[in-house]
Homo-oligomer: A and B are copies of this chain.
Amino acid sequence: MNLRPPVTLADIAREAQVSIGTVSRVLNGREGTIKISQATASRVLDAAQRLGYQPNPFAAALRTQRTGVLGAILRDMGDPFLSELARALQRAAHKQGFELLIGHADYDQETAQRQVAFMLNHWFDGLFLLGNIPGDAALLAMVQQSRTPCVAVASGMQLPVPLVTVDEVQGTLLSLEYLFHLGHRHIAFVGYMEHAGVSERLATFRQFVQDRGLVWHDEYELRCGCTSGDVSSRLHQLLSLSSPPTAIFCASDVLALRTMSIAWQHGFHLPDQLSIIGFDDIESAAESAPALTTICQPIPLMAHEAVSMLRTLIDGLLYDVDQDRRIVQPELIVRASCSSARP
């Protein structure tokens, strides 16, 4: 009879001098974004053998009770970024052997809660939250009580749950530096303040304006409500100013495309008279006139990371809390919607 306590992944990690995440990946044959060398893999396997590691039979038993189905609660199906993210998550889930069903929160807390309750009652293996959902703290409490693994994607940095999100500060700086180098000193901000990450983008914008001593009018900051429908009238006001901006930083591509339409209607010639930059890089960004310069959130990578994180949690593996937040790096995609500021 073996009286020693069971060997954990943490024991193996110590023995092999690698992270717990690496042990988990090697023992479970998972891919990750960082390749594991053959040498490291051998060291992990040797350490596991030396210590007499046995996979946890309880985890294995649980594993057989899986439904193989994941759920995604989506803030808003009409948001192209979120629907592209949901599609990518589904494809990543399929690759890892899971089915995905979608609950549409439709910006409504009660709707989201009922859908989560259904998913929990029907033994979904794990859940994703996509975008920030009204009442998400209450949702998470339900999920955590049920001990169902959950990963938040593009839901901001505030939720006490493993999450995958883009580096908001870096994305905003990439955008603003680009406009600055094109000579723009009159830059406006437009954003839907209810959306996750937009307050970080605004804070970074304000800091940039101050640090670089840009020209400033209070009308240059359009903090909009996404359901209040006041965006169009406020954009019209912005473009009617006696001193309109020469460039607009839009906190989403959807807003950038709207801004573009309204600018055309106001008789601005794009991009010579007004530069517009977006955020997200949704599919239709490449098809606007002019094609939209924007900040790409790497959707396939975010989806892959989110599915891998959720799978690790579902497998009941020890999970390094320090790795719970995967901040992915955005990229500037230069197309045709920004030009040099006219002297």
Q: A residues bordering B, Cβ < 8 Å?
A: 67, 69, 77-78, 80, 83-84, 86-87, 90-91, 94, 99-104, 106, 111, 114-115, 118, 122, 232, 257-258, 260-262, 264-265, 283-284, 287-290
Contacts and interface: CB of A to CB of B under 8 A. Distances in A.
B91 A87 contact: no
A78 B78 contact: no
Contact of A83 (B77, B260, B265, B284): B77
A102 to B, nearest CB: 4
9 contacts: A78-B83, A78-B84, A90-B104, A99-B115, A101-B118, A102-B102, A102-B103, A257-B284, A261-B288
Contacts of A260: 289
- The 8 A-B residue pairs whose C-beta atoms are closest, nearest first, are A264-B289, A261-B289, A102-B102, A77-B83, A265-B289, A122-B122, A101-B101, A78-B83
Contact of A99 (B78, B118, B288): B118
Contacts of A91: 106
Given A90-B106, A99-B118, A232-B287, 18 more contacts: A77-B77, A77-B86, A78-B80, A83-B83, A86-B104, A87-B104, A87-B106, A94-B111, A99-B114, A101-B115, A102-B102, A122-B122, A258-B287, A260-B289, A261-B287, A264-B289, A265-B289, A265-B290
Contacts of A290: 265
A232 B261 CA distance: 20
A101 B287 CA distance: 31
Nearest to A121: B67
A259 B109 CA distance: 38
A293 to B, nearest CB: 15
B69 A78 contact: no
A15 to B, nearest CB: 41
A287 B255 CA distance: 11
Contacts of A80: 78, 80
Contacts of A99: 114-115, 118
Contacts of A289: 260-262, 264-265
A205 to B, nearest CB: 24
Contacts of A101: 101-103, 115, 118
A80 B77 CA distance: 9
A192 B104 CA distance: 27
A236 to B, nearest CB: 12
A261 B77 CA distance: 24
A286 B262 CA distance: 11
A198 B95 CA distance: 33
Nearest to A119: B101
A3 to B, nearest CB: 44
Contacts of A262: 289
A145 to B, nearest CB: 20
A100 B104 contact: yes
A264 B263 CA distance: 14
Contacts of A102: 77, 101-104
A287 B118 CA distance: 37
A118 to B, nearest CB: 6
Nearest to A114: B99
